[in-house]
Structure 1
Amino acid sequence: MANAKRKLTPEQQREKMLSILTPVVSVLLALIVGAIIIACLGKNPVQGYGAMLQGSLGDINKIGKTLERACPLIFTSLAAVFAYKCGVFNLGGEGQFIMGASAAAYIVITLGLTGVPAMLVALVAGIVFGGLWALLPGLLKITRGLNEMITTIMFNYIALYFMEFLYKNVYSDQGLPQTPAMPKSAHLMDIGPAHLGVLLAIILGLLVWYVIFRTSFGFKIRAVGMSPTASRVNGFPVRMLTLLAFVISGAIAGMGGMIELFGKTPFRLADGFGSGFGFDGVAIALIAQLNPIGALVVALLFGILSTGGTMMQSVIGVPTAIVDIIRGMIIIFAVAGMAMVKLPKVKALLSGLGSKNKKAEVTA
């Protein structure tokens, strides 16, 4: 009986296959476009991509840097995935990421903590304040009906200027626009070529996948995301689940902010900290089809592009903007692909192909 329940219909099998093929094809198309651009600049695209792989995966230290570059993207993409699964669009991952780091830095510096206590207190502060920063737009949505995309973006700016106030005024390091470095004894330890935060990010990705797809709570979250009305009719506390999705999403991003601060040089808040991670996380979540495991893989790909871009520039002499173009094309192709496979005509075409294959098998 259990096996019968798990068996997918032919249509579901096709949808699952398409959800895997769409991001893969998107990446391949983006790399082809990048190769054409590199060739138009008079350079060798094969040599360029080889240099990119060498610069990002060439040895154990480069692999470590790539993993550390992907680490914050894993957290912000998982935050986006969890919220989107509940049908809410949390575009405030960057603000929650920054608030988590800011709260961790403020508490550790104010209390003068060091060592493991500093690390643990900072981790709790990052999770709590990231969740609280997401709670506010969540409350505005369920009580006043305000659009969460607008409010979360506005909260990003508030978080950014709050962090700026911290490192320029409250805890400026000898008048410089940065906070003092976090205590060396509280830095995240290295696990192989990367810091402990990378391992925590991977474990969290697996945990989020399990919660969403293998628990009753995750089923309720997905049910609300698919149809709030049907969920309400079936007795699910839709407003509470929506608020919890916001809080958990923010807590994930806030944890990522703390880990980035305590795990990576320069171990301090300064201009540019957390910049771009939130919207990159949203893009990664969409490319990964809102699958936490897929988000881990796509975040790693973005890490490879980011780390290897510098090597490609130095070897074949193309600007690092090529990497941004490739990354942007991946997003465009992935989103366009997702929209296209949902069109009725495309669905009918795929269904017809499936029927023809089935008839051919029967005839044979």
Structure 2
Amino acid sequence: MKNSNKLICVLVPVVSVLLAFAIGCAVMAFLGANPLTALQSLWTGAFGNLRNVGTTLSRATPLIFTGLCACFAYRCGVFNLGGEGQFIIGSVACCYVATQSGIEGLPAIILCLIAGALAGGLWALIPGLLKVYRGQNEMIISIMLNYVATLFMGVVYTNWLREGSVPQTMSVPDATKLSRLFGLRATTAFVIAIAAGLLVYYFLFYTSKGFQLRAVGLNMTAAEFNGFAVKRYILFSFVVSGVIAGLGGSAELLGTQYRLINGFASGYGFDGVAMALIAQLHPLATILVAIFFAALRVGSTTMQAATGVPTSVSDIIQALVIVFTVAGLAMVKLPQFKAAIDRLFTRKEAATS
């Protein structure tokens, strides 16, 4: 039965992607385009050459960070929807250190990354404390803090750290920018994101503390009766998820954006939640899903130029993947569906024995 559950968990997102692309192809055909040509253009735009691969990995990097942020918190049974705000606060702290400290080079990079991670962790601690000690809804608080962080960033780039008459901060020094990978647009920020994903995976599935954190997420009441420090794990999950998002904000600023401007990090937080849900809260799967979504977004431009299919079709496919995955996961949890699957695998085992 355990193998059947694992198989279903893998099949749900795969089938969701196939259904979404099938409907996307139908839309393309309705618009008068050849679906096969459009899909080929989509692939070429995302992975056709090293330059496009670098662009895809660069676009995937912030999604990986915010996806891991949501994944870690959800594993503890809490809903951190403030990944975008924590990402922004991390980038603000990074920008301040990079432009105002006077330090450059590798020491500045390390200091900026640490400052961003700490800022993101402290920002995430706010909804955690309010949930644990005041019983407040962490989803509402974390969402509201996203707006606070965005407005705070606006004050920074339009007032406190504004560069001349332009509503933006000054660029980080060249010596403090993250180096590019093999001359591509992707930078070492992608390497940091992969390392973060591997660390989260190792902690959750290969350490006793990670097991206890997942146990709290599965059943807080049972975990508390078994002596687990539930409140401590909840706060820990918020802080760590915030650290991941804040680190992502720092890496994005040093690797791609270089300065704070209007619209920076817009939508990254909720995109990350979608990545985590489609990946079923698995850190390594979250990385793959983030790269998949980035490929859709990068390749859609080439698809439009080659076939005339608007980039909004790519958005439709992304939305359908999310809808089908969430619906599929909800369906497999129904008692009737579980009973049907158990009967199917029982018959199969009986026939082979």
Distance (whole Å) between structure 1 residues aligned to residue 315 and residue 102 of structure 2: 40
Residue 336, structure 1, aligned to residue 327, structure 2:
yes
The CA deviation string for residues 198-241 of structure 1, in whole angstroms up to 9 with x for no partner, is 11111111111110011011011101001111111111110011
CA distance in 2: counterparts of 1:310 and 1:217, whole angstroms: 44
TM-score by length of 1: 0.95
Shift of 1:108: 2.1
Task: State whether structure 2 residue 315 is matched by structure 1 residue 324.
Answer: yes
Distance in 2, Cα, partners of 1:17 & 1:206: 23
In the alignment, which residue of structure 1 is the partner of 2:6? 16
1:219-298 equivalent positions in 2, closer than 5 A: 219-264=211-256, 266-298=257-289
Aligned residue for 2:11, secondary structure, equals helix
The SS at the match of 1:177 is strand
- Cα separation, 2, equivalents of 1:65 and 1:345: 45
Q: Aligned-pair RMSD on alpha carbons? A: 0.8
- Paired residue for 1:312? 303
Q: Give the secondary structure class of the aligned counterpart of 2:265.
A: coil
Structure 2 CA distance for aligned equivalents of residues 143 and 159 of structure 1:
23
Structure 2 residue aligned with 1:133: 123
Tell me, in whole angstroms, the C-alpha distance in 2 between the residues paired with 1:191 and 1:315: 28
Once the two structures are superposed, residues 280-338 of structure 1 have per-residue CA deviations (whole angstroms, 9 ceiling, x without a partner) of 00000000010001001100101100110100111111211111111000000000000
Helix, strand or coil for the counterpart of 1:112?
coil
Question: How far, CA to CA, are the matches of 1:116 and 1:257 in structure 2?
Answer: 18
Residue identity (%) = 49
Q: Distance in 2 between the 1:212 and 1:68 partners?
A: 26
Instruction: Give the alignment of 1:138-217 within 5 angstroms.
Output: 138-192=128-182, 193=184, 194-217=186-209
Number of equivalent positions: 351
What one-letter code is carried by the residue in structure 2 that aligns with 1:202?
A: I
Aligned counterparts of 1:197 and 1:118: Cα–Cα separation in 2 = 15
Q: Which contiguous aligned blocks of 4+ residues in structure 1 show a shift greater than 3 angstroms?
A: none
Which residue of the other structure, out of 50, 59, 62, is the alignment partner of 2:40? 50
Residue equivalent to 1:218:
210
Letter in 2 for 1:198: F
SS state at 1:178 partner: strand
Instruction: Provide structure 2 residue ranges, at least 5 long, that are not aligned to the other structure.
Output: none
* 1:115 is aligned to 2:111: no
Residue 294 of structure 2 corresponds to residue 303 of structure 1: yes
Aligned partners of 1:232 and 1:347: how far apart in 2? 28
Please give the residue correspondences for 1:63-82 in structure 2 after superposition, counting only pairs within 5 Å. Answer: 63-82=53-72
Match for 2:314: what amino acid? V
Partners of 1:349 and 1:182 lie apart in 2 by: 58
1:89-110 alpha-carbon deviations (Å, 9 max, x no partner) = 0000000000000011012222
Deviations 1:224-277 (A, max 9, x none): 00111111111111001100000000000000000010001x411101110111
